[in-house]
Structures are given as C-alpha cells and as structure tokens.
Amino acid sequence: MMAARRGLLLFASLVALSATQCLRADAFEGRKVTNLHFFFHDIVAGQDPSAVLVATPKKNLSGDVQQTFGWVVVIDDPLTEGPERDSNVLGAAQGFYMLTGRKTPMLTLGADYGFTAGPYNGSSFSVFSRNPAGETERELAVVGGRGAFRMAQGFANLRTVSISNGGDAVVEYNVTLFHY
C-alpha cells in the first residue's frame, strides 16, 4: 500500500514537472523582445537633487551595522541617451531604494522607468530587485510594464559609469524586455 502511494506521488510529481516545463517552453511565445540602452543619473548632491533621503533608522542595532543601513531614498532620476548630464532626456526612473546591506553596499530598488521621448513615449517598465551597488556590473529583474511594454518581464544589466565625491552616480542600462 505504501509503495503504491509513493508510486502515485512520483507519477503526479513527474506530470506536474512536465506541465511546468511545457509552460516554460511556451512562456515567451507570441511576445515581442525589445532591447533598450540608456543612462540613469542618481543626483544626491547640489541644489536640485533627484534622489532624496526620506527615512533613517532611529538607531544602529549593533556596532557592525553600516551607518546607512535602513535608509530609504525616493527618486525621480533622469534617464538620458548618453552619460553626460546634459544629454537628451528620454524619461525618468521614479520610485525608491532602501539600503538593505548591513555589511556590504546593497540596495533594494523599486522603480518605474517611464519614457517621455522617442518611440516609447508614454510607456514604462518596472523593476523590483536587489541591487548590489558596490559591484560595477550587476543584473536587476524587470517585473512589469505598461504601454508598449505591457506585461513586461526581463532583466536590466547595469554598469556603473561614475560616482562623484558627493555621491552622484551615472549608471549605464542595457535592458531586455519580453512583452506583448
């Protein structure tokens, strides 16, 4: 009796696994693929910052916690064609990031990358992902989109171009979106 139950359970598991694999094979069928390239400017210094600290923890919980752990920053960061701040503006990334690394520089980023110029004007994609900001190159998860990027999934490969002494950062984005 016990062997029959194990056999039935194994059969059910294999059927479920096969169905999942079929779904994965067809998951992107009928979807468009769009590749985007732009630069993200996180401006924290000066008279007109695009990233503003809005919350800090009441106290550090232990001596090994970084001073910035627990900070919450709201962003309205420009997206441009080139790495220069005066390059053509394509849109803005609006959202937040939290400093979530106690021992290493780590952000958790939630943002909508909305385009206000070019062929994707009025469209956006959304990211909610861990961002190991201390690494020069990293990958973030795309979790949604609207307009031309409706129901987007995909990934964003990031490369830090520069960080100023004041903390302003320029990050190059190469994004691959699967969408309808």
DSSP letter string over 32-72?
A: EEEEEEEEEEE--SSSS-SEEEEE--SS-SSTTS-TTTT-E
Residue 157's pLDDT is what?
Answer: 98
Name the fold adopted by 31-179: AOC barrel-like (2.40.480)
Q: Over its length of 180 residues, how does the chain's per-residue pLDDT go in tens digits?
A: 555 555 444 444 444 444 444 445 566 678 899 999 999 999 999 999 999 999 998 775 555 446 888 999 999 999 999 999 999 999 999 999 999 998 888 999 999 999 999 999 999 999 999 999 889 999 999 999 999 999 999 999 999 999 999 999 999 999 999 999
Angle at 176 between CA 96 and CA 75, to 5 degrees: 15
Tell me the residue type at 90: L
Predicted confidence (pLDDT) per residue in 123-147, tens digit: 999 999 999 988 999 999 999 999 9
Q: What is the pTM of this model?
A: 0.81
Write down the domain spans for the chain.
1-30, 31-179
Predicted pLDDT at 61: 56
Name the amino acid, one letter, at 138: R
Q: In this structure, what token pair is assigned to residue 110?
A: 């939630």
Beta partners for 99?
107
Burial annotation 152-173 (CB, 10 A radius, 16+ → b, else e): bbbbbebebeeeeeeebbbbbb
The count of residues in the chain is 180
* Spatial CA neighbour of 80 closest among 43, 119, 127, 115: 115
**Cβ(99)–Cβ(70) under 8 Å?**
yes
